[in-house]
Structure 1
Amino acid sequence: MLTDKKMQQIAERYLQKIGEGSIEAIIYSDDTIKSPMIIFILMGEFKYSLGGNVPFLVEKETGRVITFGTAGILEDYIKAYERKTLYRTLDRYWYPDEDRFNYQ
């Protein structure tokens, strides 16, 4: 299991990745939801967001980043993640150790 600090670092690396290193990423603790299995990042105000304000989570066991969509209700995406029924997209999952995106 990863520590909260390590998960925060992965989240910051992910934001740098999608921002192409053009901006300094800062995640405020008020914009974070923690559970035993994940750290979930809320992107906050749209005008300050990267990547279209897409919410994402970092898995505590693997460090894998899972992105959600913006067309649906956030709680529905979280429930689909928990049920393992998220629909596939080519860039849904980011593997920080390999710096690659994948659909699974």
Structure 2
Amino acid sequence: MVSESDRIQQSADNARSELFTQGILYVENLPVGYTFTAADVFEFIPGFADDHPSRHGALIRALQHKQLIEFSHYGPARRPSNWDAPSRHWRRTEVKRAGDAA
């Protein structure tokens, strides 16, 4: 059986490295507690790295796996064409360092 960590690592390996590098840099520069959507992150990622519909989810899962973000709340649709679809908002977390209490 494949673990969740293995699946996250596999999606990272399959995606363009620019996707994760740019996404992590974007999130690392946000202040702790800042909320955003995946669409906000992808405004700063080059189009060629956003080459597949599932890239948004893969990036968010990788950021959660690294404990850089956590789910915050649902909000109104980010794109006008999806007027009835809520968007997920994510919150920048404090960076956990080795030895910190959980």
TM-score bucket of the superposed structures, by smaller chain: under 0.3
Q: Under a length normalisation based on structure 2, what TM-score does the superposition of the two structures give?
A: 0.27
TM-score (ref. length: structure 1): 0.27
**Structure with greater helix percent:** 2
Task: Tell me which structure has the larger Cα radius of gyration.
Answer: 2
Highest RCO, 1 vs 2 (Cα 8 Å, sep ≥ 6): 2
Q: Which structure's residues are more often strand, by fraction?
A: 1
